[in-house]
Structure 1
């Protein structure tokens, strides 16, 4: 059975997990804010509300771009697997993905993984 290498998908998954963890980990935000925030009381300052929202919007744009890339690679893998007579789904692989997200992000990681898997393969 000919399947595409898993590395590009793993890279996307790892990057999404890292970006997501960084954007939700208050410790990561605190350390970044202290270095570049001139006046935290100013809503437009990098550490202020507006600055923070702009940073989150930038993270969201990156995450969406990565997810779209992940979806494209997933479609390629699925097509190759089916062309070789395989099944549309690889439940062992999906379990690995769910486990990785759960380990990295806790219980919400399971939901993130399930959403990513559905985006990549459709509903089951």
Structure 2
């Protein structure tokens, strides 16, 4: 049997994928593991990161005062009145999924998907 992939290597592989949008085939060569394992590691690590960071960083305001504090922070920092959050996206190159035709084909000639992130500015 092979040695299991360490948690540190799993985290490095996932962060590299998320930061660069690098293809899984390339990641499999850089971190000597099979491509199938790369395809399993990335969602597992993302799910673990989400579960650990969710209570701290994805806390929804529960009172009117908390929402007003967020709007106030956005106004004083960025001069955006009545703003409660920010939305940004990143194009991630993917391998063409089976039976999808041109659904994920972009104008640059690649197959890609858009990852969106929504944040609130809570300094509470």
Q: TM range, normalised to the smaller chain?
A: 0.3 to 0.5
Which structure has the higher relative contact order (CA within 8 Å, separation 6+)? 1
TM-score by length of 2: 0.39
TM-score by length of 1: 0.39
* More helix per residue: 1
* More strand per residue: 2
